[in-house]
Amino acid sequence: MYQSLSGALLFALLLLLFMPSCEKKVSDGIDDNPIDGAILLKDKLASYFPLGVAAGTSNLATDEASMIAREFNSFTPDNAMKWKYIHPQKGTYSWEKADSIVNFAIRNSMKVRGHVLVWHNPNSFNEWVTRDENGNRLSKAIFLQQMKEHIYAVVGRYKGKIYAWDVVNEAISDDPATQGSYIKNYSDMYRIAGKEYIFRAFQYAHEADPGAKLFYNDYGHEDPAKRERIYRLIKEMKDSALPIHGVGMQAHWWSNEPRAGQLDSTLKKFTDLGVEIQITELDISVYPHEDTKGKTAADFNTEWNQEKEAQLVANYKMCFEAFKKYKQYITGVTFWNVSDRYSWRTNYPVVNRNDYPLLFDKNLKPKKAYEEVLKLFP
């Protein structure tokens, strides 16, 4: 009986040792396997461009984390690297959130885009960046030195980990009457250093990491007048041998803008400069671009319906057909947030107006637009 029991135990142990494991492969809590073997859009796009998402640590603390790792192969921190958050006080840096995003991306084989080194908007940095303790604007020399130290510290920390940076954000004027200066001239940064702050930012970023791709990021490229001003800035930088590699198009678009012709002419315009194009903050509202002053959410039909779905499908198909056409110039497409659940467009430009601008709904399920875009890439 002893011999029989020993044989049975030995057989059981051998069976356990050599039988295939039924466990899913996981890495730091992230499921590496696609759901039910589904074909993923990022895989279809692999030979075209990376498919990215801009999100934050709050997204990584939810069930969206596994979805981010599964559906995207590029990650842009939405707020964690903005000056206000990563460098809140002079000489004091807060790396925790930015580090956690970069480390998450690396663990899950995702590329990382940095956003953003310099943005003139006073909501993106604290007052010490441009003013002294008495509230007076800094001298140009002091401001540029502080900007250099900031860029050296941030870019230097992630050298070799972040492959591309939005160096300067939204500096171009929206005013169609702009002539001499095409830069927004009301900001502290401009009033201290003129457009030199833009040029120096690119110079410092390149010095901190010569291997990183550097982008100028803005909205409104589809408007012909603003497009010309953005083009002018990039051309001037290239003609001056400044290190700029591409233009970032935010692409917060609407159900009625851009039209196919607008988008095509916009993309073609920047191919003439020979720079890379990245779509950096893509989402498409189900509402038209119109004057909403004085309106509330009650003035709109905010329910998801077949009409909104059909329009969203048509718009996303149009966009990705254009991206496909210009694939040799487009080196990344990034969505601004993961799903409709936390999209900023629910509160912009009308507070609490439900919007449905992304490829995944509030339950993290792919919409019809996802499936239709997938069909464009054999």
Three-state SS for 134?
A: coil
| 3-class state of residue 221 by DSSP | coil
Q: Across-strand partners of 77?
A: 55
Instruction: Let me know if 309 is a catalytic residue.
Output: no
Torsions phi, psi of 116, nearest 5?
Answer: -140, 145
Fill in the DSSP letter of residue 254. Answer: -
Which residues 6+ apart lie within 8 Å of 190 measured at CB?
A: 120, 171, 183, 184, 197
CB half-sphere exposure, 73, CA atoms < 13 A = 15
Side-chain-side CA neighbours of 137 within 13 Å: the count stands at 12
Give SS3 for 203: helix
Kind and range of the H or E run holding 327: none
CB-based contacts of 164: which residues, under 8 Å, 6+ apart?
Answer: 111, 113, 114, 212, 213, 214, 215, 245, 246, 278, 332
- Long-range contact list for 224-228, CB < 8 A, 24+ apart? 224/265, 225/176, 226/172, 226/173, 226/174, 227/266, 227/269
Strand 30-31 relative to strand 26-27, pairing = antiparallel
DSSP 265-303: HHHHHHHTTT-EEEEEEEEE-SS-S---TT--GGGS--S
Which neighbouring-strand residues pair with 213? Answer: 164
Active site residue 372: no
Give the whole-angstrom CA distance, residue 368 versus residue 359. 8
If residue 162 lies in a helix (H) or strand (E), which one and from where to where? none
Find out whether the peptide bond into 378 is cis, omega within 30 degrees of 0. Answer: no
**Which one from 64, 71, 276, 281 is the annotated catalytic residue?**
281
Name the active-site residue from 170, 236, 257, 371.
Answer: 170
Contacts of 348 (CB under 8 A, 6+ apart): none
Q: Which residues are catalytic?
A: 170, 281
